[in-house]
Amino acid sequence: MSRIKTFVVLLLIAILALSACRPQTPVAPPQTQAPAQTQAPVQTQAPAAPTETPKPKEPIKVGAIFDLTGATADVGTPYSEGVKGFVEWLNKQGGVEGHPIELISADYAYKTDQAEQLYSQFVSEGVVAFMGWGTGDTEALRPRIAEDKIPFMSASYSAALTQIDKAPYNFLIGTTYSDQAIIAIRWAMQDWAAKGHSDKPKVALIHHDSPFGQSPVADAKAFAEANGVAFTSLAMPKGATDYVAELAQIEQFGANYVIVHTVSSPAAVLLKDATNQGMKDKMQFILLNWCADEIFIKLAGPAAEGVVGVIPFTPPTSPVPGHKDADEWLKSQGSSLQEKGLHYIQGWWTMAVMTEGIRRVIKEGKEVTGENIRAALETIQNFDTGGVTAPITFTPTDHGGNKAARLFKVENGQWVQLSDYISAQK
């Protein structure tokens, strides 16, 4: 029995020893709930690959000649600044239907041979339109302009440039010198009658000694004589320091009205001489556009008071909506339209009208050529310049876009509107 007990005890010890030697399985840690999965971010459409920056559209080349140092530089400089200012402003706005205007310009010093040389050079460089200046050079270039088929707008308003058969590519937005003179005579007749006179007035026309000055003489004489108005004309000698002798001739003729067709500086000398001679009390002086400006008032001083001007382009002293863009542009450049004067706005709107022709060609999907620009300009009807001029109209048979002008009078050193638009044609 004791032997059996001993055996059982030994067996139990052996079992326990075996259990102690077996490797233990590690107890797994208590399981926790897996964290909730966050929602995957919503996939957005991949951004489109950046497109190439559109290439600038082809520039449109326009040629220009200006008088910056010659005989008419006093009025030529602000006019040139107006043309250039419009181009700079337009290009800042995106150009003409996205095409920038490339203005290729130079000073020709009022020399016809220089104008012809520059014109040829710029045409060879690919200009499709041209901005000119003087009467002599514009008339000299007229056959070549027609041959080259280059639309041409100059600051010359010679009536000869409206002859379609001889000048098919010339366009005028200013009232011609002939029409200005006729408007002056028409107003003189009305003013003379309003003052109680039953007869007709006597009119003298004193002018610059050049093709520019001579331009309106024949038409003014014909209109005056057809209306029973006694008429005479005389040139202002080149280089003269006074016009006392010419004024004596005018007084001897017995003129009641004196039309002055020149530029600002000689006109100021003439009016000073007339004042000193006591003639302003005897006759009314009427200036045409190239001397009826702020430069004349500044140079003539008190002698400018009471002078009347035929002014196709509204001066800044009589603000109109068409002045706004130019004035704002100038102010952004540290100047103003009041400072620059009416010849600036004259150049601005001349370039604006040429640009309108170019715009119409592009909008029609046509190639920008001289022939197409001419055809487009001929579709312009009653184009609104915001009151700067009478509405502009061109046709295939008439490139004289403006037949009317208003009269202004110098009062307290400023041009003040005297009349509504007067037409040269009844």
pLDDT at 425: 84
CA atoms of 68 and 313, how far apart (whole Å): 21
Gap between the Cα atoms of 257 and 246, Å rounded: 14
DSSP state of 264: H
Q: Report pLDDT for 56.
A: 73
Give me the tens of pLDDT residue by residue for the chain, a chain 426 residues long. 444 454 444 444 444 444 444 444 443 444 444 444 444 444 444 444 455 556 779 999 999 999 999 988 989 999 999 999 999 999 999 999 999 999 999 999 999 999 999 999 999 999 999 999 999 999 999 999 999 999 999 999 999 999 999 999 999 999 999 999 999 999 999 999 999 999 999 999 999 999 999 999 999 999 999 999 999 999 999 889 999 999 999 999 999 999 999 999 999 999 999 999 999 999 999 999 999 999 999 999 999 999 999 999 999 999 999 999 999 999 999 999 999 999 999 999 999 999 999 999 999 999 999 999 999 999 999 999 999 999 999 999 999 999 999 999 999 999 999 999 999 986
Helix (H) or strand (E) holding 404: strand 404-411
pLDDT of residue 230: 98
pLDDT value at residue 94: 96
Which residue, 244, 306, 250, 246, is CA-closest to 280?
Answer: 306
SS3 221: helix
Q: What is the pLDDT of residue 28?
A: 42
Domains and CATH numbers, the chain: 60-175+319-394 (3.40.50.2300), 178-311+408-423 (3.40.50.2300)
| Nearest by Cα to 62 from 385, 373, 396 | 373
Q: Distance (Å, rounded) from C-alpha 178 to C-alpha 175?
A: 8
What stretch of H or E contains 162? none
- Cβ(289)–Cβ(313) below 8 Å: yes
Burial of 231 (0-12, 13-18, 19+ CB in 10 A): buried
Helix, coil or strand: residue 209: coil
pTM, whole model, 2 decimals? Answer: 0.84
Give the other-Cβ count within 10 Å of 393's Cβ. 15
What is the length of the chain? Answer: 426
How far apart are the C-alpha atoms of 355 and 373, rounded to whole Å?
A: 9
β-sheet bridge partners, residue 411: 414
Q: Look at residue 111 in the predicted model and tell me its pLDDT.
A: 96
Are the CB atoms for 301 and 270 separated by under 8 Å? Answer: no
